[in-house]
Structure 1
């Protein structure tokens, strides 16, 4: 069995919910990533901010990214995640079912990694990845 820990990107950063979007965007650019985990003052994951979120929920609405906090654009919905010991088949199922492209990995309520579609593509058969991409691509996330 291949686990989430074996396919995840470890050493993820988590931006604070009170950080402004300009800072979040700069850090995302430095790391060359399209989504940034956002944590509360308790260091617990509160959600994910994507580059699209910054554009659609702030810039396109005429808001100054330097004045909008990361926590203000979180949708407040369920934050989907898996445990490091989760089988990659279950990871695939969760990503497809919830139509998400990046899945945080939490251990003892702490962010320890993130799994993206390419992470899974390296470990799963092509037909299963095809199903995942097809399912998620129908999503607006």
Structure 2
């Protein structure tokens, strides 16, 4: 099964010039916790999560309306996949990066969709059997969830 077969295509985005206050309000209104950030050329610059905003509020000691999205995404890796990737690749990216959603981009860095754990879960059967020819098993999904939820040893030792 390919990523493009199950990804969400109707995505709300923000710009690198938006403040975290703008993004938080949009997240609240859209009932989402993840926002792709596009640059001036409409290419994916990164993503901001509700957790990123909460941590910025505490650690930057500045009002959210003074912190731009570009400040949050510059220099941070953005883990992505492509529409023609196998869903297994998206699972591997999620597990290795400890993230629940992955932006889907084309060769020009343009956002085409988002694939999340729920999208994959909806296409994974119980009892180890896949609902589709993609061969996704519940054990693979569970293994990815366990990798994502593993405590961060750097923070745990602090």
Q: TM-score, normalised by structure 1?
A: 0.90
Q: Which residue of 2 aligns with 1:88?
A: 87
Rounded to whole Å, the distance in 2 between the matches of 1:87 and 1:43 is: 25
Offset, 1:77: 2.6
Structure 1 residue 34 and structure 2 residue 33: aligned? yes
Rounded to whole Å, the distance in 1 between the matches of 2:72 and 2:110 is: 22
Q: Which residue of 2 aligns with 1:60?
A: 58
- Runs of 4+ aligned structure 1 residues displaced above 6 Å come to none
What's the Cα RMSD here?
1.4
Rounded to whole Å, the distance in 2 between the matches of 1:99 and 1:87 is: 19
Rounded to whole Å, the distance in 2 between the matches of 1:94 and 1:36 is: 18
Q: Of Structure 1 and Structure 2, which has the larger fraction of its residues in strand? A: 1
CA 1:79/1:139 → structure 2, altered by over 3 Å: closer, same or farther?
farther
Any gaps of 5 or more consecutive residues in structure 1? none
Structure 1 residue 110 and structure 2 residue 110: aligned? yes
Q: Which residue of 2 aligns with 1:8?
A: 7
Offset, 1:42: 1.2
- Tell me the matched-pair count: 138
Q: Which has the larger radius of gyration?
A: 2
Offset, 1:78: 2.3
Any gaps of 5 or more consecutive residues in structure 2? 125-136, 153-158
CA 1:139/1:74 → structure 2, altered by over 3 Å: closer, same or farther?
farther
Offset, 1:109: 2.0
Q: Which residue of 2 aligns with 1:48?
A: 47
